[in-house]
Amino acid sequence: MAKKIITKTVEEINRKIKQGKAVVITAAEMVDTVKELGPQKAAAEIDVVTTGTFSPMCSSGAFINFGHTKPAIKAARVWLNGVPSYAGLAAVDTYIGATEPTEDDPLNRVHPGQFKYGGGHVIHDLVEGKKVELRATAYGTDCYPKRQVKKKITLQDIPYAVLLNPRNAYQNYNCAVNLSQKTIYTYMGVMKPNAGNANYATAGQLSPLFNDPFYRTMGLGTRIFIGGAKGHIIGPGTQHNPNAKRDKNGIPLTPAGTLM
């Protein structure tokens, strides 16, 4: 006997939400509901599944416009609290990457490196409302004659800032363990010997791309929460590979889809 296909339109669900009749559960609850009722009955009874996870992702950062100066400057190099920020954009636009260390960080010259402050900390400080030192230098032109600027900025007094992560929610990302006899120092953390710990970045059974393995409900324009704020998916993320080998349920067996 063929399984019944359950279909619901967004309009139907939105109408039930407005009427106060929608059945809403969390992703963790949905996993247990499917086990108990089966996928068909669960799909028929549940209208909305909410999910929220927290995980480190190295491919993260923020676009910032720090405002025009008088006289004007076309920034060639930018630092935020001593962290280099990419300036190959418009005059006062910059992109701060989460894993960028401060310019004077000794890195691994003093092994193992401590990496005490970087782009992720800058973003955190801005979101917390703290003042961040902006420093920019320029080569100067007739239309942008100013050669340097140094000032304190906050998230409230700059014209524009947006969190934009080139890669999120990696579908079946790698998990790293260290099977050797010595400690290994990686840029995402310490790996203890003899499989003493594991380094991974996934929400497991709550992962949006595990529960929608063929990207049928998520894509360009899908509304999300990111970093506690309203956001949108703007397309596939970096390293997106929808053609990875999959099991009978469509779950990829190697790293596959990503979101931007």
Residue 115 predicted with pLDDT over 90: no
Residue 53 predicted with pLDDT over 90: no
Mean pLDDT computed over 59-73: 96
Q: What are the catalytic residues?
A: 143
Tokens linked to 146? 């100013």
**C-beta of residue 166 within 8 angstroms of C-beta of residue 238:** yes
Report the alpha-carbon distance of residue 62 to residue 24 in Å, rounded.
32
Report the alpha-carbon distance of residue 242 to residue 137 in Å, rounded.
42
Report the share of the chain in percent with pLDDT over 90: 67
Q: Positive or negative CA dihedral for 195, 201, 205, 211? A: negative
Give the model's pLDDT for residue 144. 97
Give the model's pLDDT for residue 63. 98
**What values do phi and psi take at 252, rounded to 5?**
-65, 145
Residue 101 predicted with pLDDT over 90: yes
Beta bridge partners of 132: 153
Residue 223 predicted with pLDDT over 70: yes
- ∠233-163-159 over CA atoms, to 5°? 125
pTM here is: 0.84
Give the model's pLDDT for residue 205. 80
Closest by CA to 63, choosing from 133, 105, 118, 126, is 126
Report the alpha-carbon distance of residue 219 to residue 240 in Å, rounded.
13
**C-beta of residue 113 within 8 angstroms of C-beta of residue 189:** no
Tokens linked to 39? 């996928």
Q: What is the pLDDT of residues 30-40, one digit of tens each?
A: 989 999 999 88
**What values do phi and psi take at 153, rounded to 5?**
-130, 155
Mean pLDDT computed over 248-253: 91
177 Cβ partners below 8 Å, 6+ apart?
191, 195, 197, 198, 199
Give the model's pLDDT for residue 165. 94
